[in-house]
Structure 1
């Protein structure tokens, strides 16, 4: 008689546990073999090369490859499709002003600031840009910037004009650049101020913000208990809007100002169409290459009626809630914020920098680039940088004000105060929708 050993019964519970253990083992093995970290960035041209260089450096440090997806002006549309299909990346590097929008979509994973390697080296102002209205952090800062006035130095010198010290000086320079043939070609083909006045992504609002603050106005004002009062219907805001509109109505702005986006306005400056441009330092590499650093200069925009504030913004590395490797995602965000990551982003591609001003206190912009111009830019950020108001979701505010400002800029005979009243009413409705309107 043959006696067979009894076989253990594989219960459903044990089978489930065995399958789960195997799946976790496979996942661990896949990560050990370097499952790529998926990262999306808003970047074009050589900016993409800079990010690839950061990815290679991160891989050399950690052993994990980075799979990038790049997009430009259609970033939001592609991101919306990814949400709908459930195919989100691990990390999204995007504007600081997008924080509220991403939170409203429910896609962000909170960040424990204490677990970010080198977190104490990241400057406080940058950390603030990654903080929600609930006080929690939802990203790791990666870059920041501040707006200054770029001037065709060769034009200014030819016309023997001093550097502008007031808003009125800028207007006079714009008129001279338009009417006095600063390029000496004998043609009436130059203009003064470059204006991105399009409604796309709220560019008109984005451009006007510096002037609104310098005039002493604002979009909203805190009213206590996390609420805000809409304040676009004030004399200060009207002063700012009228000032910017004067360039268009006096025909001292480039002809397509009303419909222009930033991809249009940068060439307007470096090809010699117009000689004044309020913009960020991300353009320096392109202007040096296409125009030559000896032909233009960078100065703080002259003080307005109230102050010298200038738009300051930047980018954060946002970690997606859907990420299956959040620890690795945080490690990449930390690396991008580290001195090594910052320096690669600042220097890899001169005309495609992805770290404009460093958010890491151990990194000096001028020394890293061996370019003293960056010292003044970093100083303006520290002294006069002004970020957008901390409403829960700034994106719809920028879009609705961009539409309204564009309407005002395009009609030289419209009543600015009346139009601002209409925009302010729409802003109140948006604040009410976000449940932060002061009653």
Structure 2
């Protein structure tokens, strides 16, 4: 009898210990390309997931050298299970050989994600390599108090923006009697291809594009009058000193402080900066205006944040549960960080059941929503857009920095560089080879 009791006790302990071990194994690691302003939002998101699922989440975030850290982790075989990163980072991460394909049918709630968001998750081979969790477009933040003081209307066209930039630069809009204000904050740096990222909306507004799909590949299209017009227009802002000093070497991290401090009066960005700009210079003095119409009409870069499942994943079932939570209405609303004053992870929700207007109750967010729905342009689905953004960022920076450069000639040379890069990616149309 004692022997049977002891046996039962040992079996119970084994089952108990096995349950504990299983519980301990229910954990995932998530790396996120986020700035410190949104780390508390990520914590709120993972805490809610853990409370709901019992699965713990180990996180790491940085907004500075994320790509380099990923490369080092891949080399050292210390990669996480999931990465939250820009949608445009897909190609670069695919080339690193670290991405697992996504089976949307195994992720609860995937049918509620908008078709356009899923399209952004597809690579040029037609396969899905990420789960979209956020979308965004861009608009102009403008010093409303400056504009109204000078008696100018909200800008609707390139000409309107130019006139506003001239007035903000030359007519002392802050009334301090000093020539210390400038029209537009421009990030013209080559760092992470910022010059190309910034110029993209204006290129589409001009009616131009980077590449076009043709047959089995892509043809570079930077050597057109439309792209030349966009570069010439923005170069005029810099060369006529309507942009902040040092614009040619500025990143977005440099331009934001110029707008917040009252040095510049026009700032192109996404909705994620609303909380910061409400704090400084203040909600009452800043307005959000849709991107202007160029010769080709209204257009805006469309971007997003995606969750990537890595080949290093140890617990696919747990990882899929986290991916499902990210796109669920609850996860989306937590990541939108409504009322927290923090930078949100989810800007525009990808879940069709989440009403951005109801959550935000702020008409400024609807400017971004309408822009995304009507005028948003995702970057072309080439195998590695990051590499092309780097090449074009350097080329655009060179054009913007030389006030007497032959723009058409520079773009012809840049077009050939893009063709070489596409060829290296086996993505150049056969007609160009």
Please list, as runs of the form range in 1=range in 2, the aligned pairs for 1:47-196 lying within 5 A after superposition.
Answer: 47-196=38-187
* Aligned counterpart in structure 2 of residue 321 of structure 1, from 290, 298, 311: 311
CA contact (8 A) 1:258 1:410 kept: yes
TM superposition shift of 1:92: 0.2
Name 1:262's counterpart in structure 2.
252
CA contact (8 A) 1:347 1:369 kept: no
Which of 27-36 and 163-172 deviates more?
A: 27-36
The separation in 2 between residues aligned to 1:203 and 1:364, in whole angstroms, is 31
TM superposition shift of 1:34: 5.2
Name 1:16's counterpart in structure 2.
none
2:336 aligned counterpart, secondary structure: helix
> Which sections of structure 2, spanning at least 5 residues, go unmatched?
1-15
CA contact (8 A) 1:284 1:351 kept: no
TM superposition shift of 1:31: 4.0
TM superposition shift of 1:320: 0.5
Deviations 1:249-268 (A, max 9, x none): 00000101111111111111
2:277 aligned counterpart, secondary structure: helix
TM superposition shift of 1:26: 9.1
Name 1:412's counterpart in structure 2.
403
Name 2:212's counterpart in structure 1.
221
The separation in 2 between residues aligned to 1:154 and 1:176, in whole angstroms, is 13
> Which sections of structure 1, spanning at least 5 residues, go unmatched?
1-24
Deviations 1:315-363 (A, max 9, x none): 1100001111122112111111111111011125423111111111111
Deviations 1:368-391 (A, max 9, x none): 122122122211110111100111
The separation in 2 between residues aligned to 1:102 and 1:151, in whole angstroms, is 36
Normalising by structure 2, we get a TM-score of: 0.93
The separation in 2 between residues aligned to 1:181 and 1:351, in whole angstroms, is 32
Deviations 1:57-100 (A, max 9, x none): 00011101111101112111111111111100000000000111
CA contact (8 A) 1:289 1:351 kept: no
The separation in 1 between residues aligned to 2:68 and 2:337, in whole angstroms, is 30
* Change beyond 3 A, Cα 1:108–1:309: same
* Change beyond 3 A, Cα 1:31–1:284: farther
The separation in 1 between residues aligned to 2:161 and 2:294, in whole angstroms, is 11
TM superposition shift of 1:36: 3.0
The separation in 2 between residues aligned to 1:294 and 1:234, in whole angstroms, is 42
1:294 aligned counterpart, secondary structure: coil
CA contact (8 A) 2:145 2:286 kept: yes
TM superposition shift of 1:214: 0.8
The separation in 2 between residues aligned to 1:193 and 1:167, in whole angstroms, is 12
Please list, as runs of the form range in 1=range in 2, the aligned pairs for 1:210-359 lying within 5 A after superposition.
Answer: 210-225=201-216, 227-347=217-337, 349-359=340-350
TM superposition shift of 1:432: 0.5
* Change beyond 3 A, Cα 1:98–1:27: farther
Paired positions, count: 414
* Change beyond 3 A, Cα 1:42–1:262: same
1:246 aligned counterpart, secondary structure: helix
CA contact (8 A) 1:366 1:373 kept: no
CA contact (8 A) 1:39 1:90 kept: yes
The separation in 1 between residues aligned to 2:247 and 2:354, in whole angstroms, is 37
Name 2:5's counterpart in structure 1.
none
Normalising by structure 1, we get a TM-score of: 0.92
* Aligned counterpart in structure 2 of residue 200 of structure 1, from 191, 215, 224: 191
Runs of 4+ in 1 over 3 A off after TM superposition: 25-31
Which of 112-121 and 203-212 deviates more?
A: 112-121
CA contact (8 A) 2:26 2:318 kept: no
Q: Is it true that 1:41 corresponds to 2:32 in the alignment?
A: yes
The separation in 1 between residues aligned to 2:396 and 2:264, in whole angstroms, is 22
The separation in 1 between residues aligned to 2:426 and 2:214, in whole angstroms, is 13
